[in-house]
Amino acid sequence: MHFADRLAVGLRRTRSPLMVGLDPRVGSLPAGLLPVDESPGEIAAAFRQFCCGVIDAVCDVVAVVKPQLAFFEQYGPPGIKALGEVIRHARSKGLLVVLDGKRNDIGSTAEAYAAAYLGAESVWQGDALTVSPYLGDDSLIPFWERARATDSGIFVLVKTSNPGGGFFQDLRTPDAALYQRVAAHVEDLAAQSIGDCGYGIAGAVVGATYPRQLTELRQQMPHAWLLVPGYGAQGGKAEDLRSAFDDSGYGAIVNSSRGIIFAHDREPYRARFGASRWQDAVAAAANDASEELGAVAGLR
């Protein structure tokens, strides 16, 4: 099935646009999962156990998870092995997997990245990949073409949620800001690859921390799914996201990482569950966020 249509089906099933980011950190793991030493093998094993446990806790509430590749890659071959096991576990639970690697390069190197990450038959089996646009439009074409051929998708960095994002993204060209130029190109790629749901396989990363630009970019990219980071721990509010969705409640997936996966260490979940029931805390936090976002989107 067309990637955009699979996203729509997932949101229809869960009635929520929530996406859970899998960003494991050693210092934030529940006490019972802390590695016995600081070797890459022990840390990677703990990450695998933790992330698979998170997937089990949220798979009935969300349609999409987003592993952040860097948290696994930093531990070398054991981390890479753990990442593969986490991806396979997510797919076994029927979840879509957006790989967050922000990859890009030119020519055959871009083709190799695309072949590695995109599609069920690729070695990493990603349903989608985050991609940087700053090597130019020709560097995006290999990812877009691979996504078309494999019923997968890409999310291009357009307006990111980090405080320094505007350092380059807000620079003015003669006719628009740089992020607006990127958005126009993403919309063109999306419009050329529309599924039954009205959206294409090229989407855009647009941060929840910039609500005015979020509204603007939803209008500028009517055929692009938006991947919205910054909700929750980064300060983005649910009510600021209303404009990200279309009239049916579709068109955007909203990422939450720390606020969900480490819920055992923040209120009100810490008092209710604590570290010993960390999966219950994850499930409760995911359910609460899903209800809040579903209501904002109009999916509830």
Quick check: is 66 catalytic?
no
* CATH classification at residue 220: 3.20.20.70
- The three-point CA angle 97-103-104 to 5° equals 140
Domain count, the chain: 1
Residue 258 is part of which domain span? Answer: 3-297
Catalytic residue among 81, 93, 102, 237: 102
Note the pTM of the prediction, 2 decimals: 0.96
CA–CA separation, 113 vs 131, rounded Å?
10
Q: Which helix (H) or strand (E) holds 292?
A: helix 278-297
CA gap 266, 270 in Å, rounded: 5
Can you list the alpha helix ranges (DSSP code H) found in 151-257?
166-169, 178-191, 211-220
For each of the chain's 300 residues, which pLDDT tens digit applies?
999 999 999 999 999 999 999 999 999 999 999 999 999 999 999 999 999 999 999 999 999 999 999 999 999 999 999 999 999 999 999 999 999 999 999 999 999 999 999 999 999 999 999 999 999 999 999 999 999 999 999 999 999 988 899 999 999 999 999 999 999 999 999 999 999 999 999 999 999 888 899 999 999 999 999 999 989 766 778 999 999 999 999 999 999 999 999 999 999 999 999 999 999 999 999 999 999 999 999 986
Q: 121, 191, 123, 114: which is closest to 154 by C-alpha?
A: 114
Query: Residue holding tokens 């003015």?
Result: 172
Q: What is the DSSP string of 120-172?
A: TTSSS-BSEEEE--TT-HHHHHHHHHHHHHHT-EEEEEEE-SSGGGHHHHT-B
